[in-house]
Amino acid sequence: MISLYIIAYNEGEIIARCINSFIRAVDEIVVVVDSKTTDETAEIARSLGAKVFDFRWIDDFSAMKNFAMNQCTGDWLMYADADDVLESGDIRKATNYADLNNFTMIVTAYFTAFDDNDNPVANNRVPRLVKAGSSIWRGKIHEYLSCEISRQWVSDIEIYHRKPAERIDGTARNTRMLEQALKDDSPERARYLFYLAREYMFAGRWAEAIEKFEEYMPLSNFPAEKHRAMCDESDCWVALGNLDKAMSVLGDAINFLPDYPDPFIKRGIIEHRLKNWDFSARDMREAIKRDGNVHLLFPFLPYNGSVPYEYLDYLSICYWNIGEIEKAYVACVQVFKSSYSQKRIADNVRFFEELLGLKYG
């Protein structure tokens, strides 16, 4: 038996969409509603067959999610945000496979951003299903499911995070909660510092973000998170106009975990900005070599089983400025054939065709 649980606060506009996307894939749906909710979230959820419970908000997402888990009766427990939609994948088949192979946690693809053509451009791998009794949520905010890594399995389930455009940004709330959490003596201190630094970054508080990233670094035992912090810190230095420091931090990231494309892309973009075309092209080529290595946290560019188009867009411009016209044309055509087919790219393809006497078929 599979239980889906959702925590909700004023989600009346979207809760039906979420429930309806999962309703045939699970056996039970539990919706826990924040007691401060003022809309019809609970009534809508009940009308669709969900079990609805109230919870008094205490500034602790894990507490609310663990309460929701405790209301479930299934053998497998799956979490969804109210603005999530099950896009593809067979949940029942995934849990059967996990049972046969002694896995206790199932990881899904989680798409959180989309381009103008509604193609997903940001895919995180997120643990979403756990065997009942095997895991709990930890952390008051930016919470996570605890589990032995060796007992996780990555499935082909895809979930789309379809946040309404008018939804209020949570940065101020998250910042307040993280600043408060850091006043406590918590084993999650490093994690809270990482996410507070990111909230400061999102708010354009660049110097404060850098300070928190640097406080975080020596405390972290999570290599992928530390690597992401380096990449994010470099963005803050760029925003402050200190490109040398940004390049230095990206060099540290490359030396720390050399198999991910992200710092090569970011360094390549800086070199592109400085019109160092050879160096920019070098970094974009290095990024392409690592295209299959999807970062565990917030991948910088789209990963859809082929080379992300934005690498190639920069690379085409670099080749043009270096004077390698045919390479520039090949990269431009590859961009054009992707979902990134802006008018500018189509115009560039026609320009190269006329220049080289070629015809793109």
- pLDDT tens-digit map of 34-88: 999 999 999 999 999 999 999 999 999 999 999 999 999 999 999 999 999 999 9
Confidence at residue 146, expressed as pLDDT on a 0 to 100 scale: 86
d(CA 177, CA 201): 16
135 with 263, same domain? no
Q: Which residue has the tokens 């053998």?
A: 75
Mean pLDDT lowest among 74-83, 163-172, 242-251: 163-172
- Smallest CA-to-CA distance from 246 within 295, 286, 287, 210 is with 210
Q: How many domains does the chain have?
A: 2
The answer to whether the beta carbons of residues 29 and 46 sit under 8 Å apart is: no
Position with higher pLDDT, 297 vs 249: 249
12 with 132, same domain? yes
Residue 61 lies in a domain: yes
Residue 103 lies in a domain: yes
Residues 6 or more apart whose CB falls under 8 angstroms from that of 341 comprise 335
146 with 269, same domain? no
Residue 244 lies in a domain: no
155 with 274, same domain? no
Mean pLDDT over residues 291-312, rounded? Answer: 59
d(CA 264, CA 259): 10
Going by pLDDT thresholds of 50, 70 and 90, the confidence category of residue 212 is very high
Q: How far is CA 172 from CA 53, 176, 196, 359, in A?
A: 27, 6, 11, 52
Residue 307 lies in a domain: yes
What's the whole-number average pLDDT of the chain? 89
Residue 219 lies in a domain: no
Confidence at residue 23, expressed as pLDDT on a 0 to 100 scale: 96
Q: Could you say which of 161, 195, 223 is where a domain stops?
A: 161
137 with 285, same domain? no
Residue 209 lies in a domain: no
Collapse the DSSP code of 121 into the 3-class scheme (helix H, G, I; strand E, B; otherwise coil) and give the result. Answer: strand
Confidence at residue 124, expressed as pLDDT on a 0 to 100 scale: 78
d(CA 340, CA 350): 16
pTM of the predicted model as reported, rounded to 2 decimal places? 0.82
Confidence at residue 301, expressed as pLDDT on a 0 to 100 scale: 46
Residue 214 lies in a domain: no
Q: Could you say which of 130, 161, 192 is where a domain stops?
A: 161
Confidence at residue 304, expressed as pLDDT on a 0 to 100 scale: 39
Q: Could you say which of 145, 161, 177 is where a domain stops?
A: 161
Q: What is the CATH number of the domain that holds 26?
A: 3.90.550.10
Collapse the DSSP code of 220 into the 3-class scheme (helix H, G, I; strand E, B; otherwise coil) and give the result. Answer: coil
Domain of 39, in residue numbers = 2-161
26 with 154, same domain? yes
135 with 6, same domain? yes
Position with higher pLDDT, 1 vs 148: 1
Q: Residue 194 pLDDT > 50, yes or no?
A: yes
How far is the first Cα of the chain from the last one, in angstroms, to the nearest whole number? 52
**Per residue in 302-351, pLDDT tens?**
433 344 667 788 899 999 999 999 999 888 888 887 655 577 788 888 88
Residue 336 lies in a domain: yes
Q: Residue 272 pLDDT > 70, yes or no?
A: yes
Q: What is the CATH number of the domain that holds 290?
A: 1.25.40.10
Confidence at residue 134, expressed as pLDDT on a 0 to 100 scale: 92
